[in-house]
Amino acid sequence: MNIYESTRNKNITTTPSKAVLNGLAPDGGLFVMRDLENISIDINKIITMSYIEMAEYVLGKLLPDYPADVMKQCVKNAYVGKFDTDEVTPIAYAGDSIILELFHGPTCAFKDVALQMLPQLVTASKRLNNDSQQTVILTATSGDTGKAALEGFRDVEGTKIIVFFPNDGVSTVQKAQMTTQEGNNTYVCGINGNFDDTQTGVKIIFSDVNIKNTLLEKGMDFSSANSINVGRLAPQVVYYFYAYKKLIDDGRITLGDKVNFAVPTGNFGDILAGRYAKMMGLPVGKLICASNENNVLYDFINTGVYNKKRDLAKTISPSMDILVSSNLERLLYYASGKDNALVAQLMSDLATKGEYTVPDFMLDTIKDEFAAGYADSAAAKKTIKKYFDRTGYVADTHTAVALTVVDEYKATTGDTTPTVVLSTASPYKFSNSVYSAIFGDDAAAALADEYAIMEDLNAKTGVAIPSSLANLKSKPILHKTVKEKDKMADFVMESLGV
Ligand SMILES: *Cc1c(COP(=O)(O)O)cnc(C)c1O
């Protein structure tokens, strides 16, 4: 069942479960399913399903070498009782806006939807492929990913997870989320350095042959929880179908109507999943790609030139502060008509020249399917206040970028297609920025700390604080280690006891 191939070489193929286990293809390409559009999803059937049933069905189609009973168990472990609603990804209405809330998981960010599922898929894959190695997940995080990965892998048999974060480079809440992490296989370490130092340190460990061999002798092997893994991408396809079903249930559309989706975009994984859903038969109109000041994708979708040679701006939507959107490579593959050689050339241009230009026929396809816009921090803050004042809805900073872009898109195009805005984080994850957007910088500065801001945001808006964030302040700190950036390998070895 070698139905997955490298975006860069069609002769490098693998099975779905091995693609999950390996993450990246050996030539540096990403694994894609060549015949994705031949998957038939029965929309009539799907709109009668619960989220859990839908996840089993859609994931079974995307990863067909997992037997049905195995997939069923994976989905159950990932989602049942882990999210604060059985709907997993509920829809909220704010005035005329339709908002798909992806942040109801254990860490209050959309990454939970994928990172609750990935560990299940990894361990099931090891059983299917008779791989008895312990999997050691190693991750550097600037905030959201590390915590979501820790929660996903905690106490998952046959795995250990080690997370490094810049000790002074994450918010109070983000730091507390990680240092209070429970689980008998979780290891967390602050680094005296910035995120780049931390990420570089992890890359050095990954490429250190001595460390790798030492681990192999002890029956362990490294892996990453990177967002290019098909085991992270596939679970994200599900909620596009779920949103469609909910709009039918709520009488907003009838079966067959097209729906637009607007997505606050960083690494291009979330929005790409919408492209996948469309290829699998979901009636999708435009996919609206929303960026912050780091608007590489906006430029690309408008001009066909991808140029990463620019400074990275620090914004109030940090999870979108990205210059190289890795998952875009998968769109290039499909938009080029599955031309692996062309994709390889473009990626080589990006590596050697810092930019690439797609041929006109590809740009036409991309423009046909995608719209793009961007909003800077000031605009996003205005939007947060506008939505709260008009509707009482409190949007997080990333979601606000998409809301801004959609309002602009509707005004300039006159497109009246129902548009679902994907909301990627709870406002309480970025309560500092959200609070000051609504009540002013001075009001925020007058409060003692982020916890006080959360409490006052709750008092003034009536929006409940997610319990996992409300409890943080009183949780014991379990991970206290802070290391210099050149001592990261020591932490790995100490943690693994080798
Ligand atoms: C990761 C993240 C994004 C970006 O998603 P991509 O799949 O990388 O495009 C947006 N918002 C939040 C809150 C995130 O954590």
Residues 392-410, mean pLDDT to the nearest whole number: 98
320 CA → ligand 1 middle, Å? 6
Residues 177 and 255: their CA atoms lie apart, in Å, by 41
Atom of ligand 1 nearest to the CA of 144: 15
**What is the pLDDT averaged over residues 382-400?**
98
What local confidence, expressed as pLDDT, does residue 224 receive? 83
User: For residue range 108-161, what is the model confidence (pLDDT) as tens digits?
Assistant: 999 999 999 999 999 999 999 999 999 999 998 887 899 999 999 999 999 999
- The CATH-assigned architecture of domain 91-106+231-428 is 3-Layer(aba) Sandwich (3.40)
Higher pLDDT, 287 or 142: 287
Instruction: Give me the pLDDT at residue 90, please.
Output: 98
Question: Does 399 sit in the ligand 1 pocket, CB within 6 Å?
Answer: no
pLDDT at 120: 97
φ/ψ bin of 474: left (φ > 0), alpha (ψ from -120 to 50), beta (otherwise): alpha
CB-neighbour burial class of residue 138 (10 A; exposed 0-12, middle 13-18, buried 19+): buried
| Ligand 1 contacts CB of residue 330 (under 6 A) | no
pLDDT over 90 at 53, yes or no: yes
The catalytic site residues sit at 111
**Ligand 1 site, residue 260, Cβ cutoff 6 A:** no
User: How remote is the CA of residue 290 from the centroid of ligand 1, in Å?
Assistant: 11
Q: Is 424 in the pocket of ligand 1 (CB under 6 A)?
A: yes
Burial letters 366-399, b for 16+ CB under 10 A, else e: beebbbbbbbbbebbbebbbbbbeeeebbbbbbb
pLDDT at 466 (0 to 100) = 96
Q: What pLDDT does residue 170 have?
A: 85
Q: Which residues of 462-483 are buried (b: 16+ CB within 10 A; e: fewer)?
A: ebebbebbeebeeeeeebeeeb
Nearest Cα to 243, choosing from 282, 204, 210, 208?
282
- The count of other CB atoms within 10 Å of the CB of residue 351 is 11
Given a cut of 90, whether residue 172 has pLDDT beyond it is no
Check pLDDT > 90 for residue 380. yes
The per-residue pLDDT for range 440-452, each reduced to its tens digit, is: 999 999 998 999 9
**pLDDT at residue 431 greater than cutoff 80:** yes
Q: Give the pLDDT confidence score for residue 197 in this predicted structure.
A: 87
Nearest residue to 180 (alpha-carbon basis) of 484, 474, 487, 483: 474
Calculate how far, in angstroms, residue 214's C-alpha sits from the geometric centre of ligand 1: 35
Question: What six digits make up the tokens of 83?
Answer: 């999210």
Q: pTM for this structure?
A: 0.96
Interval 320-337: pLDDT, tens: 988 889 999 999 999 999
Establish whether residue 174 lines the binding site of ligand 1, counting it when its CB lies within 6 angstroms of any ligand atom.
no
Per-residue model confidence (pLDDT) at position 168: 87
Euclidean distance between CA atoms 160 and 245, whole angstroms: 37
282 neighbors 241 (Cβ within 8 angstroms): yes
Please name the residue ranges forming H helices in 80-117.
111-115
CA-nearest residue for atom 14, ligand 1, is: 319
Angle of helix 118-128 relative to helix 144-153, nearest 10 degrees, comes to: 50
Query: Ligand 1 centre from 209 Cα, in Å?
Result: 32
Q: How do the domains of the chain map onto residue ranges?
A: 91-106+231-428
In short, whether 265's Cβ falls inside 6 Å of ligand 1 is: yes
pLDDT of amino acid 489: 96
For residue 103, give the ligand 1 atom closest to its CA: 13
